[in-house]
Structure 1
Amino acid sequence: MESLGDLLKRMPGGNNALRQADKLMEDLLADPLVGLLRNKYPELDDDTIRLNMNKIYQCTKEYRNCSNCPGLEACPNDFEGHYTELSCESNGSLIQLNDRKVSCKKLIAKQGENKIRSRIRSFYVDDRALSQGYSADEIVSKDVERMKAVGQLMRYINITKEKGLQQEGLFLTGSFGTGKTFLMCYMLHELAKAGFTGAIVYMPEFVEDLKSLMMEPLKLKETVDLMKETDLLIFDDIGAENLNPWVRDHVLGSILNYRMNRKPTFYTSNYGLDALEQHFSFTNKDGDELHKGQRLMDRVRPYVELVHVTGHNKRGR
């Protein structure tokens, strides 16, 4: 039986193909990366390298791509976010070179971030507030005027990580644009990394959409149940919504009644606690109902630590 080399020589262009193969083999043997591979596996001889030129070439090419990584979205490797790893096995005179695809650090980090993000639900809040990424240094240094509030937030995060869910949440109050939502999203992100689930709800739009959900009882129940059961629930910009008695007493009241003494609830607001009680006491339909506002605040006030967020307005910067 004639050899593959003899067969190639008799084919048109066969000699050229052989020369190219010889040149590739010569380049691979001289490649420092192949030298490192042979140091790791001394049994890897020239014949085995020749039989596995494609695998070895793929490995060296992808290694260099990763060394000059242009980013996960522009990954030049055949399998995005992966590189080829080689290992050698010998059984007597039989030497086998194995290849496998391995996830790169950037892909692993992205998958980890997606896993964290999957623990957080947002209702009517811009997802960029949750996906932009955070650093503790940025939180501390962005506005020194809110340092005290940041300290309270950091303590709360650390206690929850150490001791688990607290019964008490946080009530962040302050002027427009001081970063209350930003701080709450940071807390959600940090505690999601520790395994907790969370949801953040922008109250003005949520209340408006509840009116249409009245016609979809199953969807309404699913939404309310999620807010009852999630580990961390944030009502963002509470007090800016136009309340009606049904939303106040049967939706918001039901959620807060379930969560108190079970799971912490968090709030951001331009109102303080007393002003929020006045807001809850008035609806466009029934006017002033002081006892209704007091009853709802009995499910808020005892279960939060008040955090005053001071500083300058950061919107539009």
Structure 2
Amino acid sequence: MESLGDMLKQLPNGNNALQQAERLMADLLADPLVEGLRSKYPELDNGTIRLNLNRVYQYTKEYKNCTNCPGLDRCPNDYEGHYTLLHCETVGGRVQMTDRKVTCKKLLARQSEEQIRSRVRSFYVDERALSQGYSADEIVSKDLERMKAVGQVLNYIGRTKEQGLQKEGLYLAGSFGTGKTFLMCYMLHELAKAGFTGAIVYMPDFVEDLKSLMHEQGKLKETVDLLKETDLLIFDDVGAENLNPWVRDHVLGAILNYRMNRKPTFYTSNYGLEALEKHFSFTNKDGDELHKGQRLMDRIRPYVETVFVTGHNKRGK
């Protein structure tokens, strides 16, 4: 941003320069912002203002820039997203003026949103689903047929904000494209604003990646520990993955065994709970293992509230 000194350097030499400089200073002293400053600090006299003309000029210039803000990415102030505030006090009979940089509302909002996003991890889920932002009105009005499901999710969010982390999660069951993932991302976003951490995992891709991590124990442990410890864990599209016994029993089983009675786990699925148990009971390697499926479901069924999500298929619209 151009300073007062830069502006004065552009003036012609000689008496005209002095006259124009005096006119510039007179205009600054007559600025409504400076008049407002003098109303706030009655002890502020012309001499103090003249001694601090560069500060006063920057204060008025940045205030006007902020009034006509072109957006953070094109912020014309010296420090992006900041503006100057002036303060006066009398010390030893003399008026002293100081300035400080203040963060603007737009930068505070951006920092808040970045902090919210930093609390949420995603594995193989489209980042746009987590970063686009949401509104309760949009959630409610998007499809009236799923109103009951939306109400259950909103109630859960409100309960968690009031009472803290719940031990029970949600199991969203419904057909393709009804917005199950959308609702869970909304929940993550809302609860991240309240300070909770979260992770969402797209199961088909995650399970395939786990198989390749079998020989990278350090990375596998880091991933599993993160999913164990995060406040809110969502397994998205569970039932669509191609399980093997190792992933089912030693990875999923370990994560769910740790989280039950500690932290809530959430699921979206095209299957109901009974059908999911059948899915977990069969692997291509070992065939039917009913007790293995039942064991995993014992770590899911008692710890979720089932939410049936009905409505229109919104994919591709």
* TM-score under structure 1 length normalisation: 0.93
- Aligned equivalents of 1:22 and 1:297: distance in 2? 82
Question: 2:174 — aligned with what?
Answer: 174
Task: Name the stretch that deviates more: 178-187 or 40-49.
Answer: 40-49
Question: 1:69 — aligned with what?
Answer: 69
Task: Name the stretch that deviates more: 266-275 or 68-77.
Answer: 68-77
TM-superposition CA deviations, 1:177-232 (whole Å, max 9, x none): 11111110111111112221111111111111112211210110011011111111
How far is 1:126 from its partner? 1.5
Task: Give the secondary structure class of the aligned counterpart of 1:20.
Answer: helix
Question: 1:163 — aligned with what?
Answer: 163
Question: 1:4 — aligned with what?
Answer: none
Task: Give the secondary structure class of the aligned counterpart of 1:214.
Answer: helix
How far is 1:142 from its partner? 1.1
Are 2:182 and 1:185 aligned?
A: no
Are 2:208 and 1:208 aligned?
A: yes
- Aligned equivalents of 1:198 and 1:14: distance in 2? 67
Are 2:58 and 1:58 aligned?
A: yes
Task: Give the secondary structure class of the aligned counterpart of 1:108.
Answer: helix
- Aligned equivalents of 2:262 and 2:216: distance in 1? 28
- Aligned equivalents of 2:191 and 2:298: distance in 1? 27
Question: 1:313 — aligned with what?
Answer: 313
User: Structure 1 residues 215, 18: CA separation in 2 closer, same or farther (over 3 Å shift)?
Assistant: farther
Question: 1:291 — aligned with what?
Answer: 291
* Amino acid aligned to 1:76: P
* RMSD between superposed Cα atoms in Å: 1.5
TM-superposition CA deviations, 1:93-135 (whole Å, max 9, x none): 4221111000011111111222222211111111221111111
Question: 1:49 — aligned with what?
Answer: 49
> What is the identity percentage for the equivalent residue pairs of Structure 1 and Structure 2?
81
* TM-score under structure 2 length normalisation: 0.93
Question: 2:98 — aligned with what?
Answer: 98
* Amino acid aligned to 2:53: M
TM-superposition CA deviations, 1:112-163 (whole Å, max 9, x none): 2222222111111112211111111111111111100011111111111111
How far is 1:249 from its partner? 0.6
How far is 1:17 from its partner? 3.9
Unaligned runs of 5+ in 2: 1-7
- Aligned equivalents of 2:212 and 2:74: distance in 1? 43
How far is 1:91 from its partner? 2.1
- Aligned equivalents of 1:72 and 1:175: distance in 2? 42
Task: Give the secondary structure class of the aligned counterpart of 1:172.
Answer: strand
Task: Name the stretch that deviates more: 259-268 or 280-289.
Answer: 280-289
Number of residue equivalences: 307
- Aligned equivalents of 1:22 and 1:138: distance in 2? 57
Question: 1:264 — aligned with what?
Answer: 264
- Aligned equivalents of 1:208 and 1:20: distance in 2? 74
Task: Give the secondary structure class of the aligned counterpart of 2:115.
Answer: helix
* Amino acid aligned to 2:288: D
* Amino acid aligned to 1:255: I
- Aligned equivalents of 1:302 and 1:215: distance in 2? 33
Unaligned runs of 5+ in 1: 1-7
- After TM superposition, the structure 1 = structure 2 runs for residues 240-251 of structure 1, keeping only pairs within 5 Å, are 240-251=240-251
Question: 2:36 — aligned with what?
Answer: 36
Question: 2:153 — aligned with what?
Answer: 153
* Amino acid aligned to 1:276: L
* Amino acid aligned to 1:315: R
How far is 1:18 from its partner? 2.5
How far is 1:23 from its partner? 2.0
Question: 1:78 — aligned with what?
Answer: 78
